[in-house]
Structure 1
Amino acid sequence: AHGVARPAAPLSTFLVGFAAARNGGTAADIEQACATATGLALEWAKTHPTETR
């Protein structure tokens, strides 16, 4: 959750679980959904640096 607003964590977790379930819900589906979400978050972090307040 570092670098991303913590309130987004529950929604992100839900969406990963939902995507995995839609694809079958196997361990491999969960791993793929997690990898996809992680990749998207890392890419977003590169293009949207954290602002300091």
Structure 2
Amino acid sequence: MFPMYVNKERVMVLSYKPKIDDVIKDDKTSKWYKVLKVEGRTVQARKTMGLGY
């Protein structure tokens, strides 16, 4: 499991290891996140508008 954080707040947990610059949608909240950094099992991301924006 890979917890994803935005500004030190956990927003979701991934079941796979993402790559840097991946864009991930949270199906529960319909928010999009861009992966900035992957350190061990911790994923740092920022909120974004979605694919192509």
Q: Structure 1 length as normaliser, TM-score? A: 0.21
Higher helix share: 1
Q: Structure 2 length as normaliser, TM-score? A: 0.21
Higher strand share: 2
